[in-house]
Amino acid sequence: MTQTSKDNIMELKYLLLFIAFIVYVNIVYLFSKLGKTREIGTIRLFIISFLLTPVIGLAFLISSNKRKMFMYKELSYKCDRCGFVFSDFHDNCPFCEKDGLFLKLRETEKIMT
């Protein structure tokens, strides 16, 4: 093998590596667009996916919450006596229970932002 052909193989290796890199960046770029509707965002998802591969990026994407761009209603429970609103379900109002009253909580929709 001559020195020239050895150099050509090396060049080919670098070329393939370069192409693989371009393809990788494109995959990561397309993947990062999925982060647009999530709290993680496009840029952060791109950086994570680029450095830690899109497989790890996917885990971050799944664990990231959907971006809260609009108001949504959350089911909550209100006590009519003391007016306190609970986000968790209780059989009776815990505050009124202390006063010896067992009052059922009313289901309401709390508007979240």
Contact yes or no for 85/76 (Cβ under 8 A): yes
Q: Which is nearer to Zn ion, 40 or 105 (CB)?
A: 105
Q: Which is nearer to Zn ion, 51 or 75 (CB)?
A: 75
| C-alpha pair distances (Å), 41 with each of 1, 88, 109 | 52, 30, 29
In terms of CB distance, is 25 or 101 closer to Zn ion? Answer: 101
- Which residues in 52-91 contact Zn ion (CB under 5 A)? 79, 81-82
Closest by alpha carbon to 87, among 69, 64, 68, 110?
110
Residue of 34, 51, 53 lying closest to 42 (CA atoms): 34
Structure tokens at 23: 């393809």
| Distance of closest approach, residue 55 Cβ to Zn ion, in angstroms | 49
One character per residue 92-111, x = contact with Zn ion (rule: CB under 5 A): -x-xx---------------
Residues in the interface with Zn ion (CB under 5 A) total 6
Q: Which residues bind Zn ion (CB under 5 A)?
A: 79, 81-82, 93, 95-96
